[in-house]
A and B are shown apart, each in its own frame.
Chain A
């Protein structure tokens, strides 16, 4: 809301600069965006063009002599409308114009120029506010403009504007009157009464005009009639105040409806009475009902829109925009003035769909029904004064509104307890007085009569807020609450997982959960439905991810595009899906690794399957799952993975995640990923960390190499060895895998290092050899494994 200082001064005597005013308003909760003069220019003066000759070296420049009272200046001017005898706005040497434009003494094609004759645009006014004449050239001041005087004051644009970003509950401040009350509370000044006086003629509007309302979404509808209006340009003060408030002046009648809206906060609508007919009927629109609005666009309505009709067809979209058929035009003589209150929610929905306007904004925030009466009378006053209107007697009323002021009780102690300080009683009462609230004190209770303009106040906490606001929140000293001593809880496990992954050398990312629907069901074989947004911002992000891999893959691709080829990243986040009509949301851990893992001269390690497997094992062991997990590939794998380099992670015989290389169709480079459903994993039983006695006796190591079928998995061989060896075998490790020369085609050599020990005694060579031989014999029998010499 743009506040014109000149405008508000009609209602309150204030004498502060706009910056101070804006700061003071901010302190009580009305934040400002900007506070400045309407025209931000210095050293402007009214001049009269005494002489105007064509510049000898130019086809459009003029060489002028301009009288500014104290002297006559030589000025070169390029405007087409500069001419002898014209009164102009002159920026003197040293003047600063908007856009950091400084006027210097200069010479233009050999002719001296000591200043600049200005157009309105050069003074910083937006082009939408310019008249046709002003768009063409320099501003022409009337003949009575005093030479040497202040041109901005003369044209009435010596105004200051503060632009406030108001909170959604303060609809009352969308009016000059509301602002006056707020300033009155800040500066302890009374608000002046609004002038509603006008004459009325014998003709009674009720004799010729009816209003019917058929919907509960309109609880107040008033109509008055103004006859014989003269449509013309508005007086300067109206135009300037509209401009200051950001509204483009049109003609006196349209301007008055906007002016009253700004002043009182109640949007009005003016109909051409002769085109409207004798009746207004307010109802909800019919489905697909058509209406051509003021902007000459045919709108298709629906049953949620409130519509104004003439009893036959729609003539206006209530609270949002009028219809074209009954618009006030140049030849309009008689006017029906509408002042009504429509349901804010309905207006909000309609305006969101059609167009948001100053009017709809006010309806949405709620209106004071007493102001509706005030506004329609105010419009009549101004129409009579500035449009020569005759006002018909009476007012057509449909009124179902509650116009009673609310009474709210609050105790002095309630205020002090909630604010946490002691506000002296008289200070509290002083706040209510300054706000213009009537009150009665009964014992320790104050009964406050809240004026209907303050629709935001209905409970005692609202009154406490007012006291806090006006008394000054800066006067409240902070303290720490007195609370029982306790320790707080937080999710340690997630943090430890994060730190573990970081320790393993991965960069933590923060990715978007929204992905493209084409990616949302990938990287998994789980059955679920993807969850799509009803109204996405972009197609790229229209669906919630299930797997986190698409999110991390996007990050990987982003980096690859920037030639960051070594990417080892991870993230803990959520995956979403719909299963059996239920939304599920699960915490997941995802890692993606590609490129070099570490590097040094002759010491470079690229990420491969065993690297990501190592990361998975590190994490699982760290979380206490040693001995409880395995990697399996005998189940169906997601098709986005390399079929031969992918494994599911099974913990306590339940699949909790996946590791593997991405399929070349998914990622061109070698990319390895891991995804673990943390909720599933962390629900599994873990081994407690507990000290286990280790053997004090020496252990014996023996190596063995087998020639086996190439596709025989090591895990199967290991399992067999363990089975044969019994519990004296305490460790088994693969130390070599070889295919090639000396090994038959279709076979491989795989070598194990076996560690034997007994916690009770020193093992003898004979004992170990016996076990070792059994291992070899069993491997041959069960797996066809041949001992390699």
Chain B
């Protein structure tokens, strides 16, 4: 009997090891341990054994059955893994095929520049303010020391919609708004980015363009403060190595007034096509707030002084991203827009 059991074990193990599939493995299990299996048959034949032999053989059969079960489990795992691997192998795809093109949006370069400028000035305690684009003559000109008939109005040929209302020619209009809105006549620190409009449209001018205006009013504000502030701004914006050059100029709402040039970011001042061989690029208008402007808008020029500056956003965006034609900013070709689809390099 013992011999028979040993034989069964031997042949069962052999068959288990030879099983190629889970099905074959299961067949082996049925063949030996199933209800009609060989081992089961041995158990069934135990009734013919002596009382002494029965427990010994019973234990032996159980032992063999456990061993077979373990062996089956072991092989089963191997086969399962094989089957899975085969399945995965079949599922293999060509990873070089194109992806699903998930639409990626983009931020317009002018708004990129606006956000960057806002971040610089907000960190220095400036508020960002907004004003109407359809402005009154009063705020756009008169309250900025530009009475009707003033020759400097010619520099800003305007789109009027009636004799008293026009599309603002400059974000400076917001200066007067902020001063007038400040009822306590307390210190002011603001910037105002936005759209501006002039009757001018050619290869280098767009009738609609972006500007940002800055205004600081407080006690003891000086030209040196203006210079220092613009140095911080320009270096953050166009690179730490930028050099600034102030040139006396004329704006009716500031006195003294300065035009600010920045060393050419492309050639560093040697002269190139961007700076028209001068090494310098004109980017800002600035100056000390004219006492008439302070007075007209309710500030006492004997107590307060201030500075103001303004710059063109279109040009800044063009410089920053190397855009060659101002018209690209406004035609919005998606092949242009798609290029502004990622974070700026810090």
Alpha-carbon distance A349/B333, docked complex (angstroms): 41
The 9 lowest CB-CB distance pairs between A and B, nearest first, are A420-B224, A420-B222, A505-B103, A29-B248, A345-B149, A478-B227, A600-B100, A167-B250, A465-B256
Q: Is the CB of B337 within 8 A of A569?
A: yes
Interface string of A466-505 (1 = CB under 8 A from B): 0011000110111111111111111100010011011111
Q: CA A571 – CA B165 in complex, angstroms?
A: 25
Cα A555 to Cα B327 with chains together (Å): 13
List of B residues within 8 angstroms of A199 by Cβ: none
Contact status B224-A476, CB under 8 Å: yes
B334 in the interface (beta carbon within 8 A) = yes
**Contact of A207 with B by CB under 8 A:** no
Q: Is the CB of B248 within 8 A of A490?
A: no
For the complex formed, measure the closest distance between the CB of A669 and the CB atoms of chain B, giving whole angstroms: 15
A166: nearest residue on chain B (CB-CB)?
Answer: B250
A480 and B247 contacting across the interface, CB-CB below 8 Å: no
**Closest Cβ of chain A: how far from B102's Cβ, in Å?**
6
Task: Report Cα–Cα, A498/B232, bound state, in Å.
Answer: 27
Q: Contact between B107 and A498 (Cβ–Cβ < 8 Å)?
A: yes
Q: Would you give the 0/1 interface string for B226-265, flagging 1 where the beta carbon is closer than 8 Å to chain A?
A: 1111111000000000001111111010011111000000
Q: How many angstroms from the CA of A199 to the CA of B154 in the assembled complex?
A: 44
Q: Is A140 an interface residue (CB 8 A)?
A: no
B216 to chain A, nearest CB (A): 7
A464 surroundings in chain B (CB, below 8 A): 255-256
B99 x A600 contact (CB < 8 A): yes
Distance, CA A336 to CA B189, complexed state (A): 59
In the complex, the chain B residue whose C-beta lies closest to that of A503 is B105
A473 touches B246 (CB 8 A): yes
Stretch binding the partner chain, chosen from B22-30, B31-39, B51-59, B110-118: B110-118
When the two chains form their complex, are residues B100 and A599 in contact, meaning their CB atoms are under 8 A apart? yes
* Chain B 310-346 interface mask (CB, 8 Å, partner A; 1/0): 0000000000000000000111111101100100000
Q: For the complex, give the distance between the alpha carbons of A508 and B149 in Å.
A: 40
Contacts of A29 in B (CB 8 A): 247-250
A127 adjacent to chain B (CB < 8 Å): no
Interface class of chain B by DSSP? mixed
Chain B residues whose CB sits within 8 angstroms of the CB of A533 once the complex forms:
159-161, 167
Interface flag for B195 (CB, 8 Å): yes
- Which positions 155-209 of chain B face chain A at CB distance < 8 Å? 155, 159-162, 165, 167, 187, 189, 195, 197, 199, 201, 207-208
User: In the complex, are the beta carbons of A506 and B222 less than 8 A apart?
Assistant: no
A160 to chain B minimum Cβ distance, whole angstroms, is 19
Q: Are A168 and B151 in contact (CB under 8 A)?
A: yes
A514 near B207 with CB under 8 A, answer: yes
- Flag if B332 contacts A555 (CB, 8 Å): yes
Could you show 11 A-B contacts with beta carbons less than 8 Å apart?
A: A26-B247, A29-B250, A418-B256, A420-B224, A473-B258, A478-B244, A481-B222, A483-B125, A489-B122, A573-B195, A583-B134
Contact status of A490 and B222, CB under 8 A, knowing A508-B111, A574-B133: no
Distance (Å) between the CB of B87 and the closest chain A CB? 22
Find A419's partner among B103, B110, B127, B224 (CB 8 Å cutoff): B224
Interface status of B273 (Cβ within 8 A of chain A): no
B305 near A: Cβ within 8 Å? Answer: yes
Q: Quote the shortest CB–CB distance from B247 to chain A (angstroms).
A: 6
Q: Does B284 contact A (CB under 8 A)?
A: no
Size category of the binding interface on chain A: 35 or more
- Residues in B with CB closer than 8 Å to A571 are 108
| A536 interface residue per 8 A CB criterion | yes
Q: Name the A residues within 8 Å of B111 (CB-CB).
A: 498, 508, 510
Residues in chain B within 8 A of chain A (CB atoms)? 97-108, 110-111, 115, 118, 121-128, 130, 132-134, 148-149, 151-152, 154-155, 159-162, 165, 167, 187, 189, 195, 197, 199, 201, 207-208, 210, 216, 218, 220-232, 244-250, 252, 255-259, 288, 290-291, 305, 329-335, 337-338, 341
A28 x B248 contact (CB < 8 A): yes
Complex CA gap A599/B208 in Å reads 35
| A410 to B154 CA separation, bound complex (whole angstroms) | 32
Given the complex of chains A and B, what is the CA–CA distance between A169 and B249 in angstroms? 9
Q: Which residue of A lies closest to B125 (CB)?
A: A486
Residue contact A489 to B127, C-beta cutoff 8 Å = yes
A360-395 contacts to B (CB < 8 Å): 364-365
Do A461 and B108 touch (CB < 8 A)?
Answer: no
A259 an interface residue at 8 Å Cβ cutoff? no
A113 CB–B CB distance under 8 Å: no
Contact A348 B130 (CB under 8 A): no
Answer whether residue A537 sits at the interface, using C-beta atoms and an 8 A cutoff. yes
Taking CB as reference atom, which chain B residue is nearest A481?
B225
Are A480 and B232 neighbours in the complex by a CB distance under 8 Å?
yes
Check if A461 sits within 8 Å of B256, measured CB to CB: yes
Chain A residues positioned under 8 Å from B258 (CB to CB)? 473
Q: Is A170's beta carbon under 8 Å from chain B?
A: yes
Contact of A507 among B101, B105, B132, B220 (CB under 8 A): B105
A769 within 8 A of B: no
Does B130 lie within 8 Å of A502, measured CB to CB?
Answer: no
Bound-complex Cα distance A31 to B247 (A): 8
Task: Using known A-B contacts A461-B288, A491-B128, determine if residue A481 contacts B107 with beta carbons closer than 8 Å.
Answer: no
A438: interface (CB < 8 Å): no
Inter-chain contacts of A480 with B (CB < 8 A):
225, 228-229, 232
Interface membership of A601, Cβ < 8 A: yes
A501 to B107, CA, bound (A): 10
Task: Tell me the bound Cα distance from A419 to B220 in angstroms.
Answer: 10
Determine, out of A104-112, A557-565, A648-656, A749-757, the stretch whose residues face the partner at the interface.
A557-565
Contact, CB under 8 Å: A488 / B227: no
Q: Which residues of A contact B329 (CB under 8 A)?
A: 510
Contact with B along A560-586 (1 / 0, CB 8 A): 001010111101011010000001010
Instruction: Report the minimum CB–CB distance from A180 to chain B (whole Å).
Output: 19
Task: Report whether A469 and B248 are in contact in the complex, using a CB–CB cutoff of 8 Å.
Answer: yes
Residues on B with C-beta less than 8 A from A504 are 103, 105
Please, which residues of chain A bring their CB within 8 A of the CB of B330?
510-512
A169, A461, A513 interface centre (most CB from chain B within 10 Å): A461
Would B105 and A564 count as touching, CB distance under 8 A? no
Nearest-Cβ distance from residue A555 to partner chain B, whole angstroms: 4
Q: Is A143 at the interface (CB under 8 A from chain B)? A: no
A558 near B195: Cβ-Cβ < 8 Å: no
CB of A648 to closest CB in B, whole Å:
25
Residues of B within 8 A of A536 (CB): 159
Indicate which residue in B125, B225, B230, B247 contacts A473 across the interface (CB closer than 8 Å). B247
Residues of B contacting A479 with CB < 8 Å? 224-225, 227-228
A473-B261 Cα distance, complex, nearest whole Å: 13
Residue contact B223 to A419, C-beta cutoff 8 Å: yes
Is B248 a contact partner of A564 (Cβ separation < 8 A)?
no
Structural contact, B256 and A468, CB atoms closer than 8 A: yes
Q: Of all chain A residues, which has the CB nearest B291?
A: A461
The answer for the CA separation of A74 and B335 in the assembled complex, in Å, is: 61
Q: Which residue of chain A is the closest to B119 with respect to CB atoms?
A: A490
Point out which of A31, A487, A507, A513 has the most chain B C-beta atoms below 10 A from its C-beta: A507
Q: Bound state CA distance, A67 and B106, in angstroms?
A: 72
Does A509 contact B248, Cβ atoms closer than 8 Å? no
Chain B residue at minimal CB-CB distance from A607: B103
Contact B248 A418 (CB under 8 A): no
Contact A559 B333 (CB under 8 A): yes
Q: A344-B151, A510-B332 are in contact. List 7 more A-B contacts (CB 8 A).
A: A473-B246, A473-B248, A477-B224, A486-B125, A559-B333, A576-B133, A600-B98
Instruction: Look across to chain B and name the residue whose beta carbon is closest to the beta carbon of A28.
Output: B248
A417 at the interface (CB under 8 A from B): yes
Is the C-beta of A603 less than 8 angstroms from some C-beta in chain B? yes
Enumerate A428-486 residues with CB–CB distance to B below 8 Å. 456, 459, 461-462, 464-465, 468-469, 473-474, 476-486
A471 to B305, CA, bound (A): 21
Judge whether A634 is part of the interface by a CB distance below 8 angstroms. no
B149/A344 in contact, CB under 8 A: yes
Contact of B108 (CB < 8 Å), options: A456, A509, A537, A559:
A509
1/0 per position for A85-100, CB-CB distance to B under 8 A? 0000000000000000
A568 near B103: Cβ-Cβ < 8 Å: yes
Which residues from chain A contact B220 at a C-beta distance below 8 Å? Answer: 417, 482
Q: Does A598 contact B (CB under 8 A)?
A: yes
